[in-house]
């Protein structure tokens, strides 16, 4: 019992080397940006767009089909693609 009391007393002393000092808290929390998987596509407008969703075919009113990328960066849900 005396050994256990001596051990805890040694840990509580300020010059104790057994416990690493606590790091100072920072004012700014560290934020990690999660990287989502996606692919770059060439939009019909000529700009490159980064999209997370699949490429699908949409039926056009004239009877044709249009490739579109879905869920793109910049709050664009559907972006027509250059074929």
> Tell me: the pLDDT tens digits for 37-58?
899 999 999 999 999 999 999 9
Nearby residues of 35 by Cβ (< 8 Å), 6 or more positions away: none
Helix, strand, coil shares of the chain, percent, nearest 5, are: 15, 35, 55
Residue 5 domain-assigned (yes or no): no
Residue 49: per-residue pLDDT:
95
Q: How many domains are contained in the chain?
A: 1
Are the C-beta atoms of residues 78 and 71 closer than 8 Å to each other? no
Residue 20 domain-assigned (yes or no): no
Q: Which domain holds residue 41?
A: 32-83
Residue 11 domain-assigned (yes or no): no
Residue 23 domain-assigned (yes or no): no
Provide Rg for the chain, Cα atoms: 29
Residue 14 domain-assigned (yes or no): no
Residue 63 domain-assigned (yes or no): yes
| Residue predicted with more confidence, 59 or 30 | 59
pTM for the whole thing? 0.55
Residue 21 domain-assigned (yes or no): no
């Amino acid at each position: 019992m005396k050994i256990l009391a001596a051990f805890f007393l040694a840990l509580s002393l300020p010059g104790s080397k057994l416990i690493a000092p606590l790091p100072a808290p920072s004012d700014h929390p560290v934020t990690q940006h999660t990287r989502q998987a996606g692919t770059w596509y060439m939009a019909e407008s000529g700009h490159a767009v980064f999209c997370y969703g699949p490429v699908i075919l949409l039926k056009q009113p004239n009877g044709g089909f249009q490739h579109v990328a879905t869920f793109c960066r910049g709050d664009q849900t559907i972006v027509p693609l250059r074929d």
